[in-house]
Amino acid sequence: MLTQLASHPNENDIKLALETVILKRPVLEPIVRSFSEILAEKTRIARQLGPVSAPALLNLDRTRLLQGIPLLTETSLDLLREQLDQTFHAMLTVLEKTFSHLANDYSSIENLHNRGQLDLNRLSRAYLDGESSAMRIAATSAQTSEGVLALLLHNTLSIMIQALRPSLQDYTRELQWYKGYCPICGSMPNISYLVRADDLGSEFLKGGGGQKYLHCSLCGHDWRFIRNKCPACDTADKDMQLYFQSQEEHSERVDVCSKCGAYLPCIDLRESTHGLPMDMAAISMVYLDVWATEKGYHPMTRTPWNLTE
């Protein structure tokens, strides 16, 4: 049976996914449990925030997508200040509880923010733009590491965009987007997946074995991509594209690119029977991250579980 795509799971999907993963890979229980708690809390916070209207609060221009510019690039977040603040504080509470060993770091970030010395809007903008100097400066002021701060911002923005998603769909509907980065937020994928190529679409996307989709590591948006192309460096040279498959689980593999050295886990949903939400599938395949890193490849993006190591 072909599994359903569950890119936007609810709390119950996450709970079920946790049980499935623990049953299958008991050794991963601590890490999967922590991140499933965060994932469930994120879904809850996004729901509490309610749908946030993107066109009302952001100055979005669909025509820029046609030039390959993601929707949220350089968009001012000033009108989202209230929602961002609310999400930031809710996420702080969750992370303090889940990662109690980091509680001091998070309370120091919170103090900095409460004293008006951490401009959340500017920092969010910097995070989205990959401006590492702004992140470094803020982390130093809060006497914490960039990874700890990044984990907080990652989740805050992830929730924010999740709440904006219903009103963003109009912008990306029927969009032909063959970039390796997300059309909404510009982030790289944390996982890809293959589905049956039985629906409509260009022949060149099918490439003899299912259609490939990329799943955004930050906002969870999924978009179709060319199968034999590296999302990180765009090379379509098939000699540069390799993949390594799990021996026990044939639906799980990791794609690696010899040209740029990036790797991306991939799940073949035509073969998989467990139908995990994409972010849970990505965490459950962390053994492939370990394998690829040991072989000298680097992840396409930083993920919540490689930010806290």
Least Cβ distance, residue 183 to Zn ion (angstroms): 8
CB 141 within 8 A of CB 118: yes
Please say which residue, 257 or 267, places its beta carbon nearer to Zn ion. 257
> Which region, judged by CB under 5 A, interacts with Zn ion, from 45-53, 81-89, 227-235, 273-281?
227-235
- Give the span between the Cα atoms of 59 and 44, in whole angstroms: 27
- Shortest distance, CB of residue 236 to Zn ion, whole angstroms? 10
Contact stretch for Zn ion (CB under 5 A) within 26-34, 59-67, 128-136, 256-264: 256-264
Q: Which is nearer to Zn ion, 43 or 187 (CB)?
A: 187
219 binds Zn ion (CB under 5 A): yes
How many CA within 13 A on the CB side of residue 147?
10
Q: How far is the CB of 52 from Zn ion (least distance, A)?
A: 16
CA distance 52 to 160: 8
Binds Zn ion (CB under 5 A): choice among 182, 188, 214, 256? 182
Q: What is the DSSP letter of 56?
A: H
Rule CB under 5 A: is residue 216 a binding residue for Zn ion?
yes
Examine residue 260 and tell whether it contacts Zn ion (CB under 5 A).
yes
In this chain, which of 25, 145, 233, 271 binds Zn ion, going by CB under 5 A? Answer: 233
**Is residue 69 near Zn ion by the rule CB under 5 A?**
no
CA separation for the pair 264, 192 (Å, rounded): 7
DSSP 221-270: -EEEE-TTS-TTT----GGGEEEEE-SS-TTEEEEEETTT-EEEEEEETT
Interaction of residue 230 with Zn ion, rule CB under 5 A = yes
By the rule CB under 5 A, 184 interacts with Zn ion: yes
> Among the candidate windows 79-87, 179-187, 205-213, 297-305, which touches Zn ion by CB under 5 A?
179-187
> Could you say whether residue 221 binds Zn ion (CB under 5 A)?
yes
| Residues whose CB falls within 8 Å of the CB of residue 274, separated by 6 or more in sequence, listed in order | 3, 20, 24
Q: Which is nearer to Zn ion, 176 or 247 (CB)?
A: 176
- Closer by beta carbon to Zn ion, 214 or else 286: 214
Run of H or E residues at 44:
helix 29-49
22-27: which pairs have CB atoms within 8 A and are 24 or more residues apart? 24/274, 24/284, 25/284, 25/287
Among 8, 44, 179, 259, binds Zn ion (CB under 5 A): 259
* Per CB under 5 A, 5 contacts Zn ion: no
CB 163 within 8 A of CB 152: no
Residue whose pair of structure tokens reads 């229980």 in the numeric block: 29
* Number of residues in contact with Zn ion under rule CB under 5 A: 14
Residue 191 binds Zn ion (CB under 5 A): no
- Cβ neighbors of 175 (< 8 A, separation 6 or more) are 65, 183, 223
Residue type at 185? C
Instruction: Please identify, using beta-carbon distances, which residue of 99 and 171 lies nearer to Zn ion.
Output: 171
Residue ranges binding Zn ion (CB under 5 A): 182, 184-185, 187, 216, 218-219, 221, 230, 232-233, 257, 259-260
